Amino acid sequence: MPKSGKKNSVESNQKLETASKLRRKTSNLLIIFGIITIAFPFITEAYGYFTARQLSRDWDLQASEQKEQAKKLQERQDRLILKGQLPREEEIISNLHTNRGLAKSKSKEKKKPFPKTKIIIPKIGVNQIVLEGTSPDILKLGPGHYIGTANPGDRGNVGIAGHRVTYTHPFNRLDELVRGDLIILETIDYQYEYRVENMLIVDPKNVSTLMPTADPRVTLTTCNPKYSARTRLNVVGVLVSSKPRHIDVIRAVKQITNKKEKNGTPKSKVKSLAQLRQDLVKAKAMIEKNPLDEHAYIMLSETYLALNRYAEAYRALKKAELIRPDSTDVERLSKEISKIKEGLWQKIRAHEGKSSEYAEISPIPYLDLGYLYIAEGKYKEAAGIFERGKGIFYFATDMYVQEAKVYEKLGRDDLAIENYNNALTYDPNCKEAIAGIKRLKNKKPTNGLDINNMPYRLQPQ
């Protein structure tokens, strides 16, 4: 064989061998890439699962520590009262740093840091911790709070972002929500309930839905459609209710006794919630046995006061007064209720005047004062208080329901219907509003007013 032919044969074999090696390397790389592609969702899912578990454990630990702190606080309070050293409520409250609902600032403060928060969306099975920030590293761990937006429950817009298909993918099914669905933001101390009001698909550069608002709202954002970042899905909810999670702790602190009896001796001991419940049962049993037992009604009134059930306390007190008008206990409790009423008015004026002393936004003072006016039979005053409350807390369903009940008592069924319908706007499943409308619908016409021809809305439109 000529030398040139042999040389060409060797070169050809080398090229074939090189091409074969290249194909093997390419095949191996493609296999590895395929394995990574297939495994990536499982890896991110596992990573998200374990980080979410860790965050939940941290949440439970903090809640447990707070309960223990509250227990120690109550024990210390009991010891001081037994010694006759009655602690001031302000001192107790200032020591309970973790309770936003109790610790009131006496001076203007900067925006509070974002509290440890959990987001719960029952319809789509979301139950995760929300972290501060929306950087890629944060969103790997779960939903993130847009820095600069409002905190849960505060006036303004709470912005929360979350992945749709990777890591913990909290907002994977966000598109299934509809108007009226429930979104819960839960801090260690409070639970805030929002109802979906609107759903928008916007350009990723459009951040208008995250702008501050005059009313308390929440805006959830995620990529849209799935597996794409072409647009953004925004779900907007409005706050409909807020309530403390550790109601027993709050009421226990409210049970602090700063008053002394006329003889100057302090009351023996602050009672626990369980003891107060026992007192309610005991007082009611005494009244059933003897309807003219003045002391039983006094006991009932004092117990209701300790539970912050002011209207019921007033009703029990008036019955005691009917039995014995000159009772010193009746006089003492009457003064106490008057002070409570004035305190509620102070909180309302502070809300409306934007005073920093009562910076925590809450419809409770309006509701409590309204209940007291109802107990006193002052229905027009009660309606006025609920109307004022609606001007600030227009999302508070209870405000509409209670005003509707007052108008029923005043014979203004038209205004009652209007308020029940407004309640259904913010809570389509409000049982009291639905029952109120049905009750009025079955009512016989009076003074020429045909209730059955009025606009009812039993279901959301």
Q: What is the CATH number of the domain that holds 234?
A: 2.40.260.10
Are 421 and 456 spatial neighbours (Cβ–Cβ below 8 Å)?
Answer: yes
- Single-letter amino acid code for the residue at 10: V
197 in a domain, yes or no? yes
Query: Can you give the pLDDT at residue 142?
Result: 85
Q: Is 409 within a domain?
A: yes
Residue 257 sits in the same domain as residue 214: no
pLDDT confidence bin for 247, thresholds 50/70/90:
very low
* Average pLDDT over every residue of 12-35: 71
Q: Report the number of distinct structural domains present in the chain.
A: 2
Do 239 and 252 have their domain in common? no
pLDDT of residue 195: 92
Q: Under a CB-based contact definition with an 8 Å cutoff, are residues 302 and 310 in contact?
A: no
The pLDDT of 121-142, averaged and rounded, is 87
Domain end, chosen from 246, 272, 296, is at 246
Q: Are residues 362 and 411 in the same domain?
A: yes
What pLDDT does 122 receive? 92
Q: Which one of 246, 271, 288 terminates a domain?
A: 246
Q: Residue 383 belongs to what domain range? A: 248-453
Enumerate residues 6+ apart whose C-beta is below 8 A from 205.
Answer: none
Averaged pLDDT score across all residues of the chain: 74
pTM, two decimals, is 0.45
pLDDT at 145: 92
pLDDT digits (tens, 9 = 90+) for 140-150: 888 999 988 99
Tell me: the pLDDT tens digits for 159-176? 999 988 766 778 989 999
Q: Which of 220, 246, 272 is where one domain is finished?
A: 246
Tell me whether residue 36 is in a domain.
no
**175 and 185 fall within a common domain:** yes
- Tens digits of per-residue pLDDT, 211-226? 888 888 999 999 888 7
**Does 214 lie in the same domain as 131?**
yes
